[in-house]
Every structure is written in structure tokens, then in C-alpha cells.
Amino acid sequence: MRVVVIGAGVMGCAAALELSRRGVGDVVVLERAVPGAEASSAAAGMLAAQVESKSDDERAMFVRARDGYAAWATELRELTGVDIGYKKSGVLELATHGDELARLARVVGDSRAAGLRAEMVDVAGALAIERELAASELAGAAWFPDEAQVDPPRLLRALVAAVARAGVAVKSGATVTSILEEGGRCAGVALDGREVLHADAVVLAAGSWSSLVPGVPSALPAVRPVRGQLVMLEERPPRLSTITFLDGAYVVPRGDGRVVCGSTMEDVGHRREVTAAGVSAILAAAMRIAPGLGAAELARVWCNFRPHAEGGPQIGRSPLPGLFLATGHHRNGILLAKLTAEQVAGALLDGVA
């Protein structure tokens, strides 16, 4: 059986690896740029299941994804020698006023009711977890000790190495210009308008460009880009140790002095620009969380596009038989990659066999 995967981000690579593990002998990943070129290497890398989920069902799915990561990190290291930077660094979500404290108390209560670890802490408790916080503004915080992180560029390096070892063909510079339909089912793809690649199944994993691939069924909700800018600071020596949120902004210390600070949520299409206003807002928020970051070196700024789909991620079957979906993961695609790969491989092998 031949499966063609469109896009070599975290979704395309993870799906290709899973298909190959389940015995699909001919998997081809087509990437118009280079593997991991887009959102997947640009992400902050938080596995923030309890903090990011918006419903009980979503929390259950996110937690399952998060809790599977330690084993995946070990597996990828054993396969490739690449350490993806998995760390259970916990998330501290800060409140500066009573309304926010009340909201956090509800999130903590819901987590605990679901059997997960979470607790409200007072200012002294928050400082005991992360002593670099700005105590003056703080009213209290919620602590989620089981939240974790990975280093996305390393994750992509590991995945690309793993798929290569598994015998998957990854073609860079290969732009899919249409999904082919024959007899009411997906029959493959056209490349650069000329070459045709026939396949038994196609997986659409083109991130925020997914709706732009000609031939995508019009019944699917559009996937649109939500731009996010990020700033990398470097503290010497490293001081921060905990992922910390305040009013939607966050700092993600990698543990070695690098601190990823984010992010914006912008509806500007695919405009690949890091803006003065974006960087200024991110830095102001980061220094509100930990004033000591003002002395850190500004190492790098970048942006990319979260693939947002109305109604949530599109995973598995599509209205066109033979076309499968692994897209629309918005803010949580790194978190959901392995779980999505398993769901897509399951649906595909079920639907094509």
C-alpha cells in the first residue's frame, strides 16, 4: 500500500512514522520547503494539557496526549539519539486580581475532580515554586505540577531522523498542487502541476495551508492561520525553572538559560512579519512575570502560523474516501502530535484495508 502525506511538519512526520510502524511499506512525505520549516519548529513546546483545555472532553484528550510524551521521548531517543528536551517542568498560572483567582480556582477544581494534580497557592507558595516572580502585583496562583514541555526544533529533528530510518521517503521542495479524485475517491496528488503520484491513501497535514491545497473537499471547515510571534531570551546564569502564564502571556524556561516568551494571536493571514508592537507586548508581559528577565540577552525573534479550524482539529476520515486529515491543531499541535498520528493511522488502515 502506498500512502502519500502532504506536509512534513510535526503532523505529517508523526503520521508517517506511525503508519510505517504499523506495517505500511510505502510512505512518501511531500514537503514544499524543508521538513519542520513552519509552525512545528516555531512552537513554544508546552505540553499544557490542563491549562489549555476548554472542556472536560478536551482535557481528557490533552492529558492523554501529555502523559504519553515521556514514553515517546524515550522511544525517539533510542531510535535516533536525539533528546527532544522533554521536561515535566510544571505550569504556574498567576493571578493579579480576585476575578482571575476565582477563574483559576474553577480550573483547579475541575482538574482535581477529574483526578488530576492541581492546587491553588498563595503568594508565598508561588514564590516557593518560582522565586523569580514579581511578588508585588501577585494575588495568588494555580499550580499544575504535571504539565511539561519539549524543545520543538529538536522534536522535529528526531522525527525526521526516525522517519528516514523507518524507510519513509521525505521529499523536500515538493509542492502538492492538487489532490486527485478518481471514481469518487482520492487517487493521489499532483506535484508542481506536472508529476502525478498515485496512492491508496493521502494524508493532508499541510498545517495552516491545508485549505489552500486544490482538491480539498469544500465541505471541510476552512483552516486559517493565526500568527504567533515569539521571543527567545538568554539568562546567564539560568534562574527561571517553571513555565509561567499571566493574562495569556507565558515564559517557558528551557532549563539551560534559554527562555521562550510568547505570544501574540493575530488574524493577519500569512504575513510573515515580526512586529515592533508584537515584540514590545511580549517583552512587557515577560518582565511583568519575572522582572529579572530585563537583564537577559534578546537572542532571537520569530513568528509562524497556528492552523486554526472552526470546531477543532480535523483528524481521520474526510468526506472524500481515501483522503485522511491531520490538521487544524491551532495552539496544541505539538501536544497532540503522537495521539493524532495514532488516530490517523487507525482510521486509514481501517478505511483502506
Of 335, 339, 345, 347, the one binding ligand FAD by CB under 6 A: 335
CB atoms within 10 A of CB 271: 11
- The bridge status of strand 2-6 relative to strand 201-204 is parallel
CB atoms within 10 A of CB 119: 13
Residue 23 or 193: the one with the smaller Cβ distance to ligand FAD is: 193
Q: In this structure, what C-alpha cell is assigned to residue 201?
A: 491513501
Residue 91 or 138: the one with the smaller Cβ distance to ligand FAD is: 91
Of 43, 148, 231, 345, the one binding ligand FAD by CB under 6 A: 43
333's CB contacts (< 8 A; 6+ apart) are 9, 10, 11, 39, 40, 43, 207, 306, 307, 313
What torsion do the CA atoms of 304, 309, 310, 311 make, to the nearest 10 degrees? -120
Residue type, 97: H
Residue type, 22: R
Residue 111 or 340: the one with the smaller Cβ distance to ligand FAD is: 340
Three-state DSSP state, 198: strand
d(CA 112, CA 64): 16
Among positions 282-311, residues that touch ligand FAD (CB under 6 A) are 304-307
Size of the site for ligand FAD (CB under 6 A): 44
d(CA 42, CA 304): 6
Of 3, 4, 10, 84, the one binding ligand FAD by CB under 6 A: 10
Of 67, 68, 117, 175, the one binding ligand FAD by CB under 6 A: 175
Stretch that binds ligand FAD, among 33-41, 101-109, 236-244, 317-325 (CB under 6 A): 33-41
Of 188, 215, 262, 322, the one binding ligand FAD by CB under 6 A: 262
Confirm or reject binding of residue 46 to ligand FAD (CB under 6 A): yes
Confirm or reject binding of residue 59 to ligand FAD (CB under 6 A): no
Contact footprint for ligand FAD (CB under 6 A): 6-12, 30-33, 37-40, 42-46, 175-176, 205-209, 213, 228, 230, 262-263, 304-307, 327, 329-335
